[in-house]
Amino acid sequence: MDILAFHLRGKMAHFRKYYSNSSALSYWVPPRTTITGIIAGLLGMERDSYYEQFSLHECKVALALCSPLKKTMQKMNLLMIKSSNDLNGSADYHSQTATEFIIPMDLVNGYLDYRVFIHHKNIAIQTDLCKLLSPDNQSFYCSKGIAFALGSAQNLGWIETDRVYQGEPLPGAEEKCHISTVVAVRDLTHLELVTDITHSYLKEDLPLEFDSRRNLTAKGKGEFIINANGTGIWGSADKLVQLDNGEVIAWMQ
């Protein structure tokens, strides 16, 4: 199968947890729902119109963390909106909201680097996306819709293209290997406890899929193992895919 890879990069990110209220907490990595939203936006699709086209059945997504990161909490001085007249800030009502941000371990010299792998069953969508992200021309990418940001609009970022890989299912869930991407706990059969990275393993509950009413589907949420060091995971799992460069990835499912 053809698998398109590209990088989402920036200095700061905020992927708000859907159950956050008074404090705006963030996921460590962009959930699958965020990634498919970015892809649909690049393709010029209207908001909330693409959920069926990018369902778990139609679209495969994998995510690799390629740089070490950490979290920081900041108080944001936000407008307190009680009516539509408050949107312009003239009433001068504000709310101090604790907001969690994802930042690189080295804030001065580093940057966040999320590497996305995508395969869509619809050949037209896959081809269109490959043209927009221009894997044969590394100097730019195109968009039919959104400008890219890492979560909220103030967290500006950029996209860097990678290439199109050929991928094949990897037989045998018992063989230990290096997995570049985050791995679903439900698919994990063994997690190797490597001394220098075990402390950086994180487990996070991520949304995967919405229905047409923007509600999570029956399979729309899952637990994933993430390595905050950005060096991948050692272990074995079901449903792995090996790329033509020898790299092993796991779908977010």
Q: What share of the chain is helix, strand, coil (3-state, %, to 5)?
A: 10, 40, 45
SS3 label, residue 128: helix
Q: Is the pLDDT of residue 106 over 70?
A: yes
DSSP letter at 249? E
In angstroms, the first-to-last Cα distance of the chain is 17
**pLDDT per position as a tens digit, 188-204:** 998 888 766 657 899 99
Work out the angle at residue 94's Cα, subtended by the Cα atoms of residues 91 and 96, and round it to the nearest 5 degrees. Answer: 180
Query: E strands, the chain, where?
Result: 2-10, 59-65, 69-79, 94-104, 112-120, 157-170, 177-179, 183-184, 188-191, 201-207, 221-227, 233-237, 240-243, 248-250
**pLDDT score of 95:** 75
**pLDDT score of 158:** 92
Average pLDDT over residues 10-29: 88
The span from the CA of 248 to the CA of 98, in Å, is 38
Type of residue at 236: S
Q: Is the pLDDT of residue 244 over 80?
A: yes
**pLDDT score of 53:** 93
Which domains does the chain carry? 2-74+99-250 (3.30.70.3120)
Query: E strands, 16-68, where?
Result: 59-65
Whether the pTM exceeds 0.85: the reply is yes
**pLDDT per position as a tens digit, 46-59:** 988 999 999 999 99
The span from the CA of 67 to the CA of 69, in Å, is 6
Q: Is the pLDDT of residue 137 over 70?
A: no
Contact 127, 24 (CB under 8 A): no
